[in-house]
């Protein structure tokens, strides 16, 4: 009996929708780093704050663009 594969219950319907998982990304870490640099810059100097804000805004821009590209690949009937 151990050689026999267990078949799923024929009365159970298949899943209605496949769960979408985004690809791994480095962008949350870059965003956190940019915010940290901006906050340290508040204590040290204005130039470092501006650099941190530029890094953070760049990461947010790339993260949103990547999410929009992934959403464009979804099937049209997906809500």
What is the total count of domains within the chain?
1
Query: Does residue 7 sit within a domain?
Result: no
Helices (H) and strands (E) in the chain, counts: 2, 0
Question: Is residue 54 scored above 90 in pLDDT?
Answer: yes
Nearest to 36 by CA among 19, 22, 21, 48: 48
Query: Does residue 19 sit within a domain?
Result: no
Q: What pTM was computed for the model?
A: 0.68
Query: Does residue 78 sit within a domain?
Result: no
Interval 36-53: pLDDT, tens: 999 999 999 999 999 999
Please give the Cα distance from 31 to 50 (Å, whole number): 14
Please give the Cα distance from 53 to 39 (Å, whole number): 9
The DSSP result for 26-62, as a single string, is SHHHHHHHHHHHHHHHHHS-HHHHHHHHHHHHHHHHH
Query: Does residue 52 sit within a domain?
Result: yes
């Amino acid at each position: 009996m151990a050689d026999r594969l267990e078949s799923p219950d024929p009365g159970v319907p298949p899943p209605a929708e496949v769960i979408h998982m985004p690809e791994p990304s480095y962008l949350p870490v870059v965003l956190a780093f940019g915010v940290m640099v901006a906050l340290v810059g508040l204590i040290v100097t204005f130039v470092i704050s501006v650099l941190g804000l530029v890094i953070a805004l760049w990461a947010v821009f790339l993260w949103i663009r990547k999410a929009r590209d992934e959403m464009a690949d979804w099937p049209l009937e997906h809500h």
